[in-house]
């Protein structure tokens, strides 16, 4: 959560690079953003604003071309607000209101608010007497630190926990420490999780960072003229061919003389080398490739992900000797785990429990013998999943991670890791990575040679061809206040996934239920304004799903019924019964009905519910890639 980029350069134009990297990091959080840099007059300049990077970019450009927007009269404080109340920004200068110059050292941040509301004051960087810092994570003891700083006459601008970091460094500097020692002493005072980078206007040739529990990546540009510290490798795509990941407790210090020299130190301040790895991320990986948004691009890639998983996934892990499997994850990854429970129990005959990571990590665990603990995560950084896995590791249990980002903490710390092959997923909503996670679990259940996924791909093909129909339905449902998603068996996790996507993208209250459960309460919600989305592939549950649908229709609830052509002979009644909409996808030339097809068919409907949520968000004029209040990787509790 939150994105960090920092640059120490032999050139004097870091501002453009800071903004460009922040754009790549925006998926990590986007409620506010800012940069600090030391200009060519050795003055620390800070520009920060509520809103997305484009707002920051406009502000920076405006300041560079027109000079700082001046307040009517010079305010007594070092900060002033510009812009309207919705997009208020802080331009902060430590000296006079000079035109912003160029800089060769700078830090940038895109925020997902934890402590403190979304405001310019709580946006990063935080500054104090020439020190500027950016921080990801949470400082748990910030209250006591803040109180002690207040006793030392420091004044605070906002409520953010991060603000204490800049003030602590500044306090140590005031007490005579050099910048590096001031930073180190500050870190020793902090508890919590963090990745922090700092700069100081009286040491304009030094950049320093450290990490505890939040990722940090470093790299030297190919021309050796820029040194970068970032929260993840995407920020450094196209900038460095080689990068290193810092380990827990590491510090990195880069100093500029006639060249850029950097060193990594452990928590005990001993020099250490960290492996360099190729940074293979290209612009094609992280671009929209002609699509309107990342989410649409990523949904369209779902069939490709299936192919990649079938042809390249390393599924050498054997689950057959385990008596039970526990799957632990959050959000969409949890639903992929839930879907695999149906598969593993039916096809591999192994008991499976699926649990939300934030619950698992804090409860007393009774672990039966011969159990495997599987942790599913797209980002590999979700703090609850990571903490749950660490707990299992500490107990000496067998852990396996299914992760899309193989440099992530979960991938690196798991007993065994399998990398899903979804490629970069930038849209905040998980779409293609859900398909990849489900495929990974499927391939642990059925060996590759026995797996035939034509049914999934055929239906997905038909869904993509029929996406305009989904778009029309989205227009119809976009103003509803609440929805129910229903499914039975393997369609139940798809209903949950559909409801989550609808909530997070369209802000419409949506709940997923097993169809059989609706009459135990949710049916009370049904009226002519509450849409029910029924996931109804033709399977052993079909008749029952049909009856549950009739129960909704009998109460004047509009139903969107999603099924395939195999069900056509059985739905005539339904279609005559004021159904709001029925979409029949085609299964095409699947040779014969078999038990596996029946279990696989629901997975393809994930694409339909992803598209429905996407088009509903678009119909409401919302940003499908960056839904409000969310971030792609949730590294706080």
231 binds ligand M6R (CB under 6 A): no
Tell me the pairing of strands 371-377 and 324-329.
Answer: parallel
- The residue (of 55 and 357) whose beta carbon lies closer to ligand M6R is 357
633 binds ligand M6R (CB under 6 A): yes
Find all residues with CB under 8 Å of 249, minimum gap 6, and list them: 210, 211, 212, 266, 267
Contact with ligand M6R (CB under 6 A) among 333, 340, 564, 604: 333
302 binds ligand M6R (CB under 6 A): no
Tokens representing residue 83 in the block: 């812009």
Cα–Cα distance for residue pair 590/613, rounded to 1 Å: 28
Question: Which residues, 147 to 186, sit near ligand M6R by CB under 6 A?
Answer: none
CA trace torsion 540, 545, 550, 556 (10° rounding): -160
φ, ψ dihedrals at 484, nearest 5°: -115, 135
The 3-state DSSP class for residue 46 equals: strand
Residue 510 Cβ vs ligand M6R, minimum distance, rounded to whole Å: 13
Catalytic residue among 2, 254, 490, 582: 2
- The residue (of 28 and 146) whose beta carbon lies closer to ligand M6R is 28
106 binds ligand M6R (CB under 6 A): no
Contact window for ligand M6R (CB under 6 A) among 278-286, 423-431, 518-526, 617-625: 423-431
- The residue (of 502 and 579) whose beta carbon lies closer to ligand M6R is 502
- Look at the block and give the residue holding tokens 């953010």: 160
What's the count of helices (H) and strands (E) in the chain, helices before strands?
A: 19, 27
Stretch 250-289: interaction string toward ligand M6R, x if CB under 6 A: ----------------------------------------
Residue 330 Cβ vs ligand M6R, minimum distance, rounded to whole Å: 4
Stretch 427-446: interaction string toward ligand M6R, x if CB under 6 A: -xxx----------------
Distance from first CA to last CA of the chain, Å, rounded?
Answer: 11
> Cβ atoms within 10 A of the Cβ of 249, count?
14
Cα R_g (the chain), whole angstroms: 26
- Look at the block and give the residue holding tokens 């052509």: 565
- The residue (of 230 and 389) whose beta carbon lies closer to ligand M6R is 389
Q: Which whole-number Å values give the CA distances from 624 to 118, 259, 362, 504, 562, in the listed order? A: 21, 44, 33, 9, 23
> Cβ atoms within 10 A of the Cβ of 65, count?
9
Strands (E), 338-394: 351-356, 371-377
Contact window for ligand M6R (CB under 6 A) among 13-21, 42-50, 377-385, 413-421: 377-385
- The residue (of 225 and 630) whose beta carbon lies closer to ligand M6R is 630
| Cis? peptide before 18, omega within 30° of 0 | no
634 binds ligand M6R (CB under 6 A): yes
Residue 112 Cβ vs ligand M6R, minimum distance, rounded to whole Å: 12
> Cβ atoms within 10 A of the Cβ of 224, count?
10
- By beta carbon distance, the residue nearest ligand M6R is 331
- The residue (of 504 and 625) whose beta carbon lies closer to ligand M6R is 504
Tokens representing residue 340 in the block: 């695999």
399 binds ligand M6R (CB under 6 A): no
Q: Which whole-number Å values give the CA distances from 493 to 7, 332, 435, 602, in the listed order? A: 44, 9, 12, 9
Residue 318 Cβ vs ligand M6R, minimum distance, rounded to whole Å: 24
Residue 544 Cβ vs ligand M6R, minimum distance, rounded to whole Å: 29
Catalytic residue among 297, 419, 501, 632: 632
Contact with ligand M6R (CB under 6 A) among 379, 399, 515, 635: 379
Question: Which residues, 486 to 515, sit near ligand M6R by CB under 6 A?
Answer: 500, 504
Length, in residues, of the chain: 637
- Look at the block and give the residue holding tokens 């019964």: 577
- The residue (of 206 and 418) whose beta carbon lies closer to ligand M6R is 418
Is 632 catalytic? The answer is yes
CA nearest neighbour of 314 among 418, 449, 392, 403: 418
Contact window for ligand M6R (CB under 6 A) among 424-432, 547-555, 571-579, 592-600: 424-432
Contact window for ligand M6R (CB under 6 A) among 47-55, 123-131, 324-332, 443-451: 324-332
Contact with ligand M6R (CB under 6 A) among 128, 171, 332, 491: 332
Is 254 catalytic? The answer is no
Cα–Cα distance for residue pair 66/58, rounded to 1 Å: 12
331 binds ligand M6R (CB under 6 A): yes
Contact window for ligand M6R (CB under 6 A) among 16-24, 39-47, 200-208, 375-383: 375-383
Contact with ligand M6R (CB under 6 A) among 22, 216, 330, 400: 330
Tokens representing residue 423 in the block: 């490629």
Strand partners, 398: 372
Within its chain, how far is the Cα of 621 from the centroid?
Answer: 22
Cα–Cα distance for residue pair 328/389, rounded to 1 Å: 8
Q: How many residues belong to the site for ligand M6R (CB under 6 A)?
A: 17
Contact with ligand M6R (CB under 6 A) among 160, 382, 491, 518: 382
**DSSP at 158:** S
Catalytic residues: 2, 632
Footprint on this chain of ligand M6R (rule: CB under 6 A): 330-333, 377-379, 382, 385, 428-430, 500, 504, 630, 633-634
């Amino acid at each position: 959560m939150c994105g960090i980029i920092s640059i120490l350069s032999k050139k004097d134009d870091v501002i453009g690079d800071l903004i460009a990297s922040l754009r790549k990091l925006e998926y990590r959080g986007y409620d506010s953003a800012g940069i600090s840099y030391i200009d060519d007059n050795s003055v620390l300049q800070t520009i920060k604003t509520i809103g997305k990077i484009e707002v920051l970019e406009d502000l920076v450009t405006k300041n560079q071309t027109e000079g700082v927007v001046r307040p009517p009269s010079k305010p007594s404080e070092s900060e002033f607000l510009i812009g309207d109340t919705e997009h208020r920004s802080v331009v902060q200068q430590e000296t006079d209101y000079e035109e912003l110059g160029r800089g060769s050292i700078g830090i940038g941040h895109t925020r997902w608010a934890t402590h403190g509301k979304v405001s310019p004051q709580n946006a990063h960087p935080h500054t104090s007497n020439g020190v500027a810092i950016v921080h990801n994570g949470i400082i748990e003891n910030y209250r006591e630190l803040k109180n002690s700083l207040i006793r030392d006459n420091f004044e605070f601008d906002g409520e953010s926990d991060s603000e204490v970091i800049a003030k602590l460094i500044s306090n140590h500097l005031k007490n005579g420490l050099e910048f590096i020692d001031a930073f180190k002493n500050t870190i020793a005072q902090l508890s919590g999780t963090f990745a922090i980078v700092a700069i100081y206007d009286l040491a304009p040739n030094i950049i320093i960072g450290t990490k505890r529990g939040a990722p940090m990546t470093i790299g030297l540009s190919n021309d050796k003229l820029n040194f970068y510290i970032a929260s993840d490798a995407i920020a450094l795509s196209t900038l460095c061919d080689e990068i290193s990941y810092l380990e827990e407790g590491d510090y990195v210090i880069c100093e500029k003389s006639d060249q850029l020299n950097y060193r990594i130190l452990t928590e005990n301040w001993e020099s250490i080398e960290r492996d360099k790895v190729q940074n293979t991320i290209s612009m094609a990986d992280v671009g929209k490739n002609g699509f309107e948004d990342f989410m649409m691009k990523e949904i369209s890639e779902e069939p490709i992900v299936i192919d990649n998983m079938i042809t390249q996934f390393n599924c050498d892990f054997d689950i057959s000797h385990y008596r039970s499997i526990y799957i632990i994850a959050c959000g969409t990854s949890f639903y992929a785990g839930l879907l695999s429970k149906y598969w593993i129990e039916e096809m591999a005959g192994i008991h499976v429990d699926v649990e939300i990571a934030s619950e698992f990590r804090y409860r007393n665990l009774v672990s039966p013998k011969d159990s495997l603990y599987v942790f599913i995560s797209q980002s590999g950084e979700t703090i609850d999943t990571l903490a749950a896995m660490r707990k299992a590791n500490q107990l000496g249990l067998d852990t396996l991670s299914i992760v899309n980002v193989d440099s992530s903490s979960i991938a690196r710390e798991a007993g065994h890791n399998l990398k899903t092959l979804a490629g970069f997923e930038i849209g905040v909503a998980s779409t293609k990575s859900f398909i990849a996670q489900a495929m990974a679990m499927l391939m642990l259940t059925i060996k590759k040679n026995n797996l035939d996924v034509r049914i999934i791909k055929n239906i997905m093909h038909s869904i993509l061809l029929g996406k305009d129909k989904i778009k029309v339905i989205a227009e119809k449902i976009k103003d509803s206040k609440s929805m129910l998603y229903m499914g039975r068996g393997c369609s139940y996790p798809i209903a949950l996934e559909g409801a989550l996507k609808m909530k997070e993208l369209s802000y419409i209250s949506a709940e997923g239920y097993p169809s059989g459960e609706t009459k135990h309460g949710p049916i009370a919600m049904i009226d002519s304004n509450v849409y029910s989305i029924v996931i109804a592939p033709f399977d052993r549950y079909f008749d029952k799903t049909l009856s549950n649908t009739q129960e909704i229709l009998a109460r004047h609830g509009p139903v969107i019924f999603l099924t395939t052509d195999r069900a056509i002979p059985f739905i005539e009644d339904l279609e005559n019964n004021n159904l709001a909409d029925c979409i029949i996808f085609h299964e095409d030339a699947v040779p014969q009905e078999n038990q596996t097809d029946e279990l696989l068919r629901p997975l393809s409907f994930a694409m339909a519910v992803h598209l429905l949520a996407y088009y509903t968000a678009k119909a409401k004029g919302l940003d499908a890639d960056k839904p409000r209040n969310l971030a792609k990787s949730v590294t706080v509790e």
